[in-house]
Structure 1
């Protein structure tokens, strides 16, 4: 989009557990004149931040607000159950939802997992945040299901987690406000997260990429060295009178005569 007006920076929102660092590094290499500003937002508020213009795009968790935002899915995270280290669950490598049927399972208000029926037995009250729920798990009040990256984010020495393969996963995607035409810098970031090279990325990244190096002419045949290197000169042949030689003019000498 040659000649289009570009904002002074690109604001990227991201939710807990999502690590945009690798994409930010690529952005800084391709678009060094457009600073990328990271905006950390709670998962439950991410869609609202994008709708209100608080960021140009965001790495958010499902469900996406398809009514007001565009979105492309990127990946789905494994769901794990967070438990105290001395819990019976730690005796196995993974857990099913049926294994949690008799457990109190905390369901915080900012939970991003999409449940038809939350597993386990409900607590008396729902914790306000995931961080509050983690504290309750540490206190032995109940267990907590959450995306694996969020469990790592809330790492504690007294807690551990196990995968729950039959639990719904947590989808992560790139989202931005709906528009008739996708903004240029959003297109740039889409190309980065999708792994496009600098030559295939649409927009400014390609224009600012390094120009290909000019091809060097091949050396002329006259200047090329033979494959075997410089040939050795043959050793000179020794003449007939040389020491150790046996040329045609060198006959055998007779015995010396005695003088009388």
Structure 2
């Protein structure tokens, strides 16, 4: 009877624009060469849905996520920048500052795309546009047309880089936080393995896959042979063979000399 070959396990990782998982993929390939890792690029909203519906085992996503069903480990917080044309007054101003303040944008049209990953509890700075662009990429096109400016995490500004645009850090505004998330009820061994990689654990870490293997028994330490020489600290030295007899003869000779020299 022909044995049916079972498919090898795989790991599905969803990630959102601006996140670069390359370094973690390299470590995964080194530690689990027999387990393929499938990358799924997705929008922030769709990425969360993939995790909730079982379409991905884990994800590099932006917070917030639904913590009632998803576990999440915050990884890093991104700097928020404002993107504008290179001939904009913010770039052309003499001694242009490294940072732009919210007050600097008071008279500027600031786009708010529908896929914005920043939360604005106090409202978007500047003046609102007549319409919200559908995507960040659409908003970038409008910025390039010198219609307004755009506030985004720095990784998205780099992702949508254009030669005719530049950006500056935008101070005192919300920031985006990137996290590793996965369904709490589906914390598999492979998920634990990826958590360890992201957290920088070594392959021999107590939480890694190698730790699940039985520990090898270490050979018992050999007893040190008894030392025949006297050790520092006053321990007596054992006499060597023949040494005891020589010592006895020396003692007898000394006693004889003492008797001969004694007065009668």
What's the counterpart of residue 149 of structure 1?
A: 155
What's the counterpart of residue 95 of structure 1?
A: 100
Give yes or no for contact 1:79–1:164 (8 Å, CA) kept in 2: yes
Give yes or no for contact 2:202–2:208 (8 Å, CA) kept in 1: no
TM-score for both structures, normalised by structure 1 = 0.74
What's the counterpart of residue 40 of structure 1?
A: 41
Map 1:186-225 onto structure 2 (within 5 A).
186-200=191-205, 202-206=207-211
Give yes or no for contact 1:44–1:112 (8 Å, CA) kept in 2: no
- Which structure: greater helix fraction? 2
When structure 1 is superposed on structure 2, of 199-208 and 122-131 the one drifting more is: 199-208
What's the counterpart of residue 70 of structure 1?
A: 71
2:108 counterpart SS class:
coil
2:49 counterpart SS class:
helix
1:186 counterpart SS class:
helix
Give yes or no for contact 2:82–2:167 (8 Å, CA) kept in 1: yes
Deviations 1:137-180 (A, max 9, x none): 0011110000101100001010000011211111000001121x
Map 1:1-12 onto structure 2 (within 5 A).
8-12=9-13
What's the counterpart of residue 137 of structure 2?
A: 131
Task: State the distance in 2 between where 1:185 and 1:98 align.
Answer: 48
Pair 1:121 & 2:122 matched: no
Segments of 5+ residues of structure 2 without an aligned counterpart are 1-6, 217-264
What's the counterpart of residue 185 of structure 1?
A: 190
Pair 1:140 & 2:146 matched: yes
Aligned length: 204
Task: State the distance in 2 between where 1:83 and 1:74 align.
Answer: 28
Task: State the distance in 1 between where 2:79 and 2:169 align.
Answer: 7
Which 4+ stretches in 1 moved above 6 angstroms? none
What's the counterpart of residue 25 of structure 1?
A: 26
Task: State the distance in 2 between where 1:46 and 1:115 align.
Answer: 21
CA 1:7–1:36: 2 relative to 1, 3 Å: same
TM-score for both structures, normalised by structure 2 = 0.73
Return the offset for 1:100. Answer: 0.9
Task: State the distance in 2 between where 1:162 and 1:202 align.
Answer: 41
What's the counterpart of residue 246 of structure 1?
A: none
Segments of 5+ residues of structure 1 without an aligned counterpart are 1-5, 212-260
What's the counterpart of residue 108 of structure 1?
A: 113
